[in-house]
Amino acid sequence: MLTAVIVGGGPAGLMAAEVLAQSGAAVTVYDQMPSMGRKLLMAGRGGLNLTHSEPLDRFLDRYGPARAWLEPAIRAFPPAALMQWAEGLGQPLFTGTSGRVFPKAMKASPLLRAWLARLSGLGVILRPRHRFLGWDAAGGMRFDAGEGTVTAHPDVAILAMGGASWPRLGSDGAWTALFPRDVGPLRPANCGFTVAWSDHLRSRFAGQPLKRIAVRFNDTVLRGEAMITAEGIEGGVIYALSSTLRDALDQARPVTIMVDLRPDLSPAALAARLAAPRRGQSLSTFLRKQAGLSPVAIGLVQEALHRDGGDPAALIQALPIRLEAARGIERAISTAGGLRQAALGPNFHLRDRPNLFAVGEMLDWEAPTGGYLLQACFSTGVAAAQAALSVFAVPAANLPAPP
Protein backbone atom coordinates (compact mmCIF):
# COMPACT_ATOMS: atom_id res chain seq x y z
CA MET A 1 0.00 0.00 0.00
CA LEU A 2 1.24 3.47 -0.88
CA THR A 3 2.06 5.50 2.22
CA ALA A 4 1.76 9.29 2.22
CA VAL A 5 2.53 12.08 4.65
CA ILE A 6 0.90 15.50 4.41
CA VAL A 7 2.50 18.34 6.37
CA GLY A 8 -0.16 20.95 7.06
CA GLY A 9 -3.83 20.54 7.87
CA GLY A 10 -5.25 23.46 5.88
CA PRO A 11 -7.33 23.34 2.67
CA ALA A 12 -4.47 22.33 0.35
CA GLY A 13 -3.16 19.62 2.65
CA LEU A 14 -6.53 18.14 3.55
CA MET A 15 -7.59 18.09 -0.10
CA ALA A 16 -4.39 16.26 -1.04
CA ALA A 17 -5.07 13.80 1.79
CA GLU A 18 -8.59 13.14 0.48
CA VAL A 19 -7.45 12.47 -3.09
CA LEU A 20 -4.74 10.08 -1.90
CA ALA A 21 -6.97 8.25 0.55
CA GLN A 22 -9.76 7.88 -2.02
CA SER A 23 -7.26 5.99 -4.13
CA GLY A 24 -6.30 3.61 -1.33
CA ALA A 25 -3.17 5.26 0.06
CA ALA A 26 -2.43 5.16 3.78
CA VAL A 27 -2.35 8.87 4.65
CA THR A 28 -1.17 10.69 7.77
CA VAL A 29 -1.61 14.46 8.14
CA TYR A 30 0.71 16.26 10.53
CA ASP A 31 0.01 19.79 11.75
CA GLN A 32 1.77 21.84 14.43
CA MET A 33 -1.48 23.29 15.80
CA PRO A 34 -3.83 21.54 18.26
CA SER A 35 -6.45 21.06 15.52
CA MET A 36 -6.78 21.12 11.75
CA GLY A 37 -8.05 23.91 9.53
CA ARG A 38 -7.55 26.85 11.86
CA LYS A 39 -7.03 29.44 9.14
CA LEU A 40 -9.99 28.04 7.23
CA LEU A 41 -12.11 28.66 10.31
CA MET A 42 -10.79 32.22 10.44
CA ALA A 43 -11.76 32.71 6.78
CA GLY A 44 -15.23 31.48 7.72
CA ARG A 45 -15.74 34.48 9.96
CA GLY A 46 -16.26 36.49 6.80
CA GLY A 47 -18.64 33.94 5.29
CA LEU A 48 -16.07 31.52 3.78
CA ASN A 49 -15.73 32.79 0.23
CA LEU A 50 -14.83 29.46 -1.39
CA THR A 51 -14.50 30.51 -5.01
CA HIS A 52 -15.94 32.81 -7.69
CA SER A 53 -18.50 32.21 -10.43
CA GLU A 54 -17.03 34.44 -13.15
CA PRO A 55 -15.95 32.91 -16.50
CA LEU A 56 -12.86 30.76 -16.08
CA ASP A 57 -10.57 32.78 -18.36
CA ARG A 58 -11.34 35.94 -16.40
CA PHE A 59 -10.95 33.98 -13.17
CA LEU A 60 -7.48 32.79 -14.19
CA ASP A 61 -6.40 36.33 -15.03
CA ARG A 62 -6.70 37.17 -11.32
CA TYR A 63 -3.47 35.26 -10.69
CA GLY A 64 -1.44 37.74 -12.73
CA PRO A 65 2.07 36.49 -13.57
CA ALA A 66 1.33 33.12 -11.91
CA ARG A 67 -1.58 32.33 -14.24
CA ALA A 68 0.37 30.03 -16.56
CA TRP A 69 1.79 28.14 -13.60
CA LEU A 70 -1.51 27.58 -11.80
CA GLU A 71 -3.78 27.25 -14.82
CA PRO A 72 -3.42 23.48 -15.43
CA ALA A 73 -4.31 22.70 -11.81
CA ILE A 74 -7.27 25.08 -11.73
CA ARG A 75 -8.63 23.89 -15.07
CA ALA A 76 -8.38 20.30 -13.82
CA PHE A 77 -10.21 21.17 -10.60
CA PRO A 78 -12.09 24.39 -11.43
CA PRO A 79 -14.60 26.40 -9.39
CA ALA A 80 -17.47 24.19 -10.58
CA ALA A 81 -15.69 21.11 -9.24
CA LEU A 82 -14.97 22.78 -5.91
CA MET A 83 -18.62 23.78 -5.61
CA GLN A 84 -19.72 20.23 -6.36
CA TRP A 85 -17.26 18.90 -3.78
CA ALA A 86 -18.56 21.26 -1.06
CA GLU A 87 -22.15 20.33 -1.79
CA GLY A 88 -21.12 16.68 -1.56
CA LEU A 89 -20.18 17.41 2.04
CA GLY A 90 -23.77 18.49 2.67
CA GLN A 91 -22.95 22.19 2.43
CA PRO A 92 -25.38 23.98 0.07
CA LEU A 93 -23.89 27.05 -1.57
CA PHE A 94 -25.12 30.34 -2.97
CA THR A 95 -23.64 32.90 -5.32
CA GLY A 96 -23.76 36.51 -4.17
CA THR A 97 -24.45 39.53 -6.35
CA SER A 98 -20.68 40.03 -6.67
CA GLY A 99 -20.27 36.53 -8.11
CA ARG A 100 -18.57 35.22 -4.98
CA VAL A 101 -19.58 31.76 -3.81
CA PHE A 102 -20.33 30.99 -0.15
CA PRO A 103 -21.82 28.17 1.92
CA LYS A 104 -25.36 29.03 2.93
CA ALA A 105 -24.24 28.49 6.53
CA MET A 106 -21.90 31.50 6.04
CA LYS A 107 -19.20 29.88 8.15
CA ALA A 108 -16.52 27.22 7.84
CA SER A 109 -17.17 25.02 10.85
CA PRO A 110 -19.97 22.81 9.38
CA LEU A 111 -17.93 22.17 6.23
CA LEU A 112 -14.76 21.42 8.20
CA ARG A 113 -16.56 19.02 10.54
CA ALA A 114 -18.09 17.13 7.63
CA TRP A 115 -14.76 17.06 5.82
CA LEU A 116 -12.83 15.71 8.81
CA ALA A 117 -15.51 13.05 9.29
CA ARG A 118 -15.12 12.00 5.65
CA LEU A 119 -11.33 11.82 6.01
CA SER A 120 -11.68 9.72 9.15
CA GLY A 121 -13.97 7.35 7.26
CA LEU A 122 -11.29 7.02 4.60
CA GLY A 123 -8.74 6.04 7.23
CA VAL A 124 -6.76 9.28 7.20
CA ILE A 125 -4.78 9.66 10.42
CA LEU A 126 -4.54 13.18 11.86
CA ARG A 127 -1.53 14.08 13.99
CA PRO A 128 -1.96 17.56 15.54
CA ARG A 129 0.75 19.16 17.68
CA HIS A 130 3.49 17.80 15.42
CA ARG A 131 5.91 20.42 14.10
CA PHE A 132 7.92 19.48 11.02
CA LEU A 133 11.68 19.75 11.64
CA GLY A 134 13.02 18.61 8.28
CA TRP A 135 14.78 15.45 7.15
CA ASP A 136 17.36 13.28 8.88
CA ALA A 137 20.46 11.83 7.18
CA ALA A 138 18.49 8.80 6.02
CA GLY A 139 15.75 10.92 4.45
CA GLY A 140 13.24 10.39 7.24
CA MET A 141 10.79 13.20 8.03
CA ARG A 142 11.29 14.42 11.58
CA PHE A 143 8.51 15.91 13.72
CA ASP A 144 8.62 17.50 17.15
CA ALA A 145 5.72 15.85 18.98
CA GLY A 146 6.14 17.89 22.17
CA GLU A 147 7.45 15.05 24.30
CA GLY A 148 9.97 13.81 21.80
CA THR A 149 10.75 13.46 18.10
CA VAL A 150 9.01 11.06 15.74
CA THR A 151 10.19 10.07 12.28
CA ALA A 152 8.17 9.05 9.24
CA HIS A 153 9.39 7.29 6.08
CA PRO A 154 6.53 7.65 3.58
CA ASP A 155 6.58 6.74 -0.08
CA VAL A 156 5.35 10.23 -0.93
CA ALA A 157 5.11 13.52 0.97
CA ILE A 158 3.17 16.71 0.27
CA LEU A 159 4.13 19.91 2.03
CA ALA A 160 1.21 22.28 2.64
CA MET A 161 2.58 24.53 5.38
CA GLY A 162 1.07 27.81 4.23
CA GLY A 163 2.63 31.24 4.03
CA ALA A 164 3.26 33.52 6.99
CA SER A 165 0.07 35.51 7.46
CA TRP A 166 -1.77 35.07 10.76
CA PRO A 167 1.07 32.97 12.24
CA ARG A 168 -0.88 32.34 15.43
CA LEU A 169 -3.09 30.07 13.31
CA GLY A 170 -0.14 27.89 12.36
CA SER A 171 1.48 29.22 9.17
CA ASP A 172 4.55 31.02 10.47
CA GLY A 173 6.85 30.68 7.46
CA ALA A 174 9.51 28.85 9.48
CA TRP A 175 9.68 26.23 6.72
CA THR A 176 11.54 28.70 4.47
CA ALA A 177 14.77 27.82 6.30
CA LEU A 178 14.54 24.33 4.74
CA PHE A 179 14.80 25.80 1.21
CA PRO A 180 17.21 28.76 1.53
CA ARG A 181 17.96 29.08 -2.21
CA ASP A 182 14.50 28.41 -3.60
CA VAL A 183 12.20 30.80 -1.74
CA GLY A 184 11.05 34.24 -2.81
CA PRO A 185 10.79 36.50 0.27
CA LEU A 186 7.45 36.19 2.06
CA ARG A 187 5.57 39.50 2.00
CA PRO A 188 2.09 40.65 3.00
CA ALA A 189 -0.67 40.35 0.40
CA ASN A 190 -4.28 41.55 0.65
CA CYS A 191 -3.14 43.78 3.47
CA GLY A 192 -3.85 47.15 5.01
CA PHE A 193 -1.55 50.15 5.11
CA THR A 194 -0.40 52.55 7.79
CA VAL A 195 -1.47 56.19 7.65
CA ALA A 196 -0.38 58.96 10.02
CA TRP A 197 -3.86 60.02 11.08
CA SER A 198 -4.30 62.83 13.54
CA ASP A 199 -5.16 61.82 17.08
CA HIS A 200 -8.60 63.38 16.57
CA LEU A 201 -9.44 61.36 13.46
CA ARG A 202 -8.02 58.16 14.92
CA SER A 203 -9.96 58.44 18.17
CA ARG A 204 -13.26 59.36 16.51
CA PHE A 205 -13.35 57.24 13.37
CA ALA A 206 -11.21 54.10 13.80
CA GLY A 207 -13.40 51.15 12.86
CA GLN A 208 -15.70 53.21 10.62
CA PRO A 209 -16.36 52.07 7.02
CA LEU A 210 -16.09 54.13 3.87
CA LYS A 211 -18.82 52.80 1.59
CA ARG A 212 -19.29 53.15 -2.16
CA ILE A 213 -16.00 54.90 -2.76
CA ALA A 214 -13.49 54.79 -5.61
CA VAL A 215 -9.73 54.63 -5.09
CA ARG A 216 -7.21 55.70 -7.72
CA PHE A 217 -3.52 54.87 -7.80
CA ASN A 218 -1.63 55.84 -10.94
CA ASP A 219 -3.88 54.73 -13.82
CA THR A 220 -5.93 52.20 -11.85
CA VAL A 221 -9.33 53.12 -10.42
CA LEU A 222 -11.33 50.61 -8.37
CA ARG A 223 -14.65 50.93 -6.59
CA GLY A 224 -15.55 49.28 -3.32
CA GLU A 225 -15.38 49.78 0.41
CA ALA A 226 -12.60 50.49 2.89
CA MET A 227 -12.21 50.75 6.63
CA ILE A 228 -10.44 53.39 8.68
CA THR A 229 -8.35 51.77 11.42
CA ALA A 230 -6.31 53.23 14.24
CA GLU A 231 -3.18 52.37 12.26
CA GLY A 232 -4.35 53.32 8.77
CA ILE A 233 -6.71 51.94 6.14
CA GLU A 234 -7.78 48.48 4.95
CA GLY A 235 -10.76 46.76 3.34
CA GLY A 236 -11.78 45.26 0.02
CA VAL A 237 -10.82 48.05 -2.37
CA ILE A 238 -7.48 48.50 -0.58
CA TYR A 239 -6.78 44.76 -0.68
CA ALA A 240 -7.47 44.74 -4.42
CA LEU A 241 -4.72 47.34 -4.90
CA SER A 242 -2.41 46.01 -2.20
CA SER A 243 0.16 44.25 -4.37
CA THR A 244 0.63 47.36 -6.51
CA LEU A 245 0.78 49.63 -3.47
CA ARG A 246 3.16 47.31 -1.61
CA ASP A 247 5.54 47.17 -4.57
CA ALA A 248 5.40 50.95 -4.95
CA LEU A 249 6.26 51.38 -1.27
CA ASP A 250 9.26 49.12 -1.79
CA GLN A 251 10.56 51.72 -4.25
CA ALA A 252 9.72 54.93 -2.39
CA ARG A 253 7.81 56.10 0.67
CA PRO A 254 5.21 57.39 1.13
CA VAL A 255 2.82 56.79 -1.75
CA THR A 256 -0.46 58.61 -2.17
CA ILE A 257 -3.82 57.21 -3.18
CA MET A 258 -6.69 59.43 -4.26
CA VAL A 259 -10.10 58.61 -2.82
CA ASP A 260 -13.36 59.68 -4.45
CA LEU A 261 -15.94 59.80 -1.66
CA ARG A 262 -18.84 60.36 -4.10
CA PRO A 263 -17.95 58.58 -7.36
CA ASP A 264 -21.64 58.38 -8.28
CA LEU A 265 -21.79 62.18 -8.71
CA SER A 266 -20.28 64.07 -11.62
CA PRO A 267 -17.97 66.95 -10.66
CA ALA A 268 -20.55 69.39 -12.08
CA ALA A 269 -23.39 67.90 -10.03
CA LEU A 270 -21.31 67.97 -6.86
CA ALA A 271 -20.23 71.57 -7.51
CA ALA A 272 -23.87 72.58 -8.01
CA ARG A 273 -24.85 71.03 -4.69
CA LEU A 274 -22.02 72.77 -2.86
CA ALA A 275 -22.84 76.11 -4.48
CA ALA A 276 -25.94 76.35 -2.27
CA PRO A 277 -25.68 78.96 0.51
CA ARG A 278 -24.61 77.53 3.89
CA ARG A 279 -26.97 79.80 5.88
CA GLY A 280 -25.02 79.49 9.09
CA GLN A 281 -24.57 75.73 8.94
CA SER A 282 -21.31 74.25 10.13
CA LEU A 283 -19.12 72.75 7.41
CA SER A 284 -19.84 69.30 8.79
CA THR A 285 -23.61 69.78 8.58
CA PHE A 286 -23.35 71.36 5.14
CA LEU A 287 -21.28 68.48 3.73
CA ARG A 288 -23.64 65.93 5.25
CA LYS A 289 -26.74 67.56 3.76
CA GLN A 290 -25.45 68.75 0.41
CA ALA A 291 -22.86 66.13 -0.47
CA GLY A 292 -24.41 63.19 1.38
CA LEU A 293 -21.18 62.36 3.19
CA SER A 294 -20.96 60.04 6.17
CA PRO A 295 -19.36 61.31 9.41
CA VAL A 296 -16.09 59.50 8.67
CA ALA A 297 -15.95 60.91 5.13
CA ILE A 298 -16.54 64.40 6.54
CA GLY A 299 -13.78 63.80 9.05
CA LEU A 300 -11.37 62.92 6.27
CA VAL A 301 -12.26 66.03 4.28
CA GLN A 302 -11.88 68.26 7.33
CA GLU A 303 -8.52 66.69 8.20
CA ALA A 304 -7.26 67.32 4.66
CA LEU A 305 -8.52 70.92 4.76
CA HIS A 306 -6.82 71.49 8.10
CA ARG A 307 -3.56 69.98 6.89
CA ASP A 308 -3.30 71.28 3.32
CA GLY A 309 -6.19 73.65 2.67
CA GLY A 310 -7.97 73.44 -0.65
CA ASP A 311 -11.49 73.27 -2.03
CA PRO A 312 -13.97 70.92 -0.30
CA ALA A 313 -15.55 69.90 -3.63
CA ALA A 314 -12.20 68.93 -5.07
CA LEU A 315 -11.24 67.00 -1.95
CA ILE A 316 -14.49 65.05 -1.90
CA GLN A 317 -13.65 63.54 -5.28
CA ALA A 318 -9.87 63.48 -5.03
CA LEU A 319 -8.94 63.11 -1.37
CA PRO A 320 -5.23 62.34 -0.98
CA ILE A 321 -4.29 59.71 1.60
CA ARG A 322 -0.58 59.14 2.16
CA LEU A 323 0.36 55.53 2.86
CA GLU A 324 3.50 55.10 4.94
CA ALA A 325 3.97 51.32 4.80
CA ALA A 326 2.19 48.02 4.33
CA ARG A 327 0.87 46.50 7.55
CA GLY A 328 2.86 43.58 8.88
CA ILE A 329 2.52 40.14 7.36
CA GLU A 330 1.13 38.82 10.63
CA ARG A 331 -2.10 40.75 9.95
CA ALA A 332 -2.29 40.22 6.20
CA ILE A 333 -4.99 38.02 4.70
CA SER A 334 -2.47 36.14 2.58
CA THR A 335 1.17 35.94 1.60
CA ALA A 336 3.18 36.76 -1.50
CA GLY A 337 6.43 34.92 -2.15
CA GLY A 338 7.26 31.31 -1.41
CA LEU A 339 8.76 28.38 -3.28
CA ARG A 340 9.66 29.62 -6.74
CA GLN A 341 8.40 27.89 -9.85
CA ALA A 342 11.98 27.20 -10.92
CA ALA A 343 12.40 24.94 -7.87
CA LEU A 344 9.48 22.75 -8.87
CA GLY A 345 8.72 20.38 -11.67
CA PRO A 346 5.32 19.78 -13.28
CA ASN A 347 2.47 19.28 -10.83
CA PHE A 348 4.41 20.93 -8.00
CA HIS A 349 7.03 18.31 -7.17
CA LEU A 350 10.51 19.37 -6.07
CA ARG A 351 12.76 19.09 -9.11
CA ASP A 352 15.26 16.79 -7.40
CA ARG A 353 12.59 14.88 -5.41
CA PRO A 354 9.86 13.33 -7.59
CA ASN A 355 8.03 12.03 -4.52
CA LEU A 356 8.05 15.34 -2.62
CA PHE A 357 5.49 18.02 -3.47
CA ALA A 358 4.59 21.52 -2.24
CA VAL A 359 1.14 23.10 -2.58
CA GLY A 360 -1.06 25.99 -1.57
CA GLU A 361 0.28 29.21 -0.11
CA MET A 362 3.79 27.79 0.16
CA LEU A 363 4.13 28.51 -3.54
CA ASP A 364 5.22 31.86 -4.99
CA TRP A 365 1.89 33.26 -6.20
CA GLU A 366 -0.65 35.75 -4.96
CA ALA A 367 -4.22 36.63 -5.82
CA PRO A 368 -6.89 39.06 -4.65
CA THR A 369 -9.66 38.14 -2.27
CA GLY A 370 -12.86 36.92 -3.88
CA GLY A 371 -12.44 33.15 -3.74
CA TYR A 372 -9.20 33.00 -5.74
CA LEU A 373 -7.00 32.21 -2.75
CA LEU A 374 -8.91 29.16 -1.55
CA GLN A 375 -9.53 27.90 -5.08
CA ALA A 376 -5.81 27.76 -5.86
CA CYS A 377 -5.09 26.02 -2.56
CA PHE A 378 -7.70 23.33 -3.24
CA SER A 379 -6.67 22.92 -6.88
CA THR A 380 -2.94 22.59 -6.22
CA GLY A 381 -3.69 20.06 -3.48
CA VAL A 382 -5.66 17.94 -5.95
CA ALA A 383 -3.00 18.28 -8.67
CA ALA A 384 -0.11 17.28 -6.42
CA ALA A 385 -1.95 14.28 -4.98
CA GLN A 386 -2.92 13.01 -8.42
CA ALA A 387 0.66 13.47 -9.62
CA ALA A 388 1.94 11.60 -6.57
CA LEU A 389 -0.35 8.70 -7.39
CA SER A 390 0.89 8.63 -10.97
CA VAL A 391 4.51 8.35 -9.77
CA PHE A 392 3.57 5.03 -8.23
CA ALA A 393 1.14 4.07 -11.02
CA VAL A 394 -1.86 4.20 -8.68
CA PRO A 395 -5.10 5.16 -10.45
CA ALA A 396 -6.62 8.33 -9.05
CA ALA A 397 -10.17 7.90 -7.79
CA ASN A 398 -12.77 10.58 -8.43
CA LEU A 399 -13.69 12.87 -5.57
CA PRO A 400 -17.13 12.12 -4.12
CA ALA A 401 -20.02 13.67 -6.00
CA PRO A 402 -23.03 15.21 -4.28
CA PRO A 403 -25.75 12.75 -3.24
Write the single-letter amino acid at 72: P
Instruction: Please give the pLDDT value at position 398.
Output: 62
Chunk the chain into consecutive blocks of 10 residues (it has 403) and report each block's average pLDDT, rounded to whole numbers.
97 98 97 96 91 98 97 98 98 96 96 98 98 96 95 97 93 94 95 97 97 97 97 96 96 94 96 91 94 97 92 95 95 95 94 94 96 98 96 70 39
Strand 26-30 to 125-127 pairing? parallel
Instruction: Please give the pLDDT value at position 346.
Output: 86
Instruction: Please give the pLDDT value at position 402.
Output: 40
Burial 202-236 (b: 16+ CB within 10 A, else e): beebeebebeebbbbbeeeeeebebbbbebbbbbb
Strand 26-30 to 3-7 pairing? parallel
Instruction: Please give the pLDDT value at position 286.
Output: 95
CA gap 337, 165 in Å, rounded: 12
Q: Other C-beta atoms within 10 Å of 21: how many?
A: 23
**Do 301 and 287 meet the contact criterion of CB atoms below 8 Å apart?**
yes
Instruction: Please give the pLDDT value at position 126.
Output: 98
Integer-rounded Cα Rg, in Å, for the chain is: 24
CA gap 275, 278 in Å, rounded: 9
Domains of the chain with CATH codes: 3-188+329-391 (3.50.50.60), 193-326 (2.40.30.10)
CA gap 107, 101 in Å, rounded: 12
Nearest alpha carbon to residue 381 among 52, 125, 45, 4 = 4
CA gap 203, 194 in Å, rounded: 15
What's the predicted TM-score (pTM) here?
Answer: 0.93
Instruction: Please give the pLDDT value at position 318.
Output: 97
**Do 165 and 142 meet the contact criterion of CB atoms below 8 Å apart?**
no
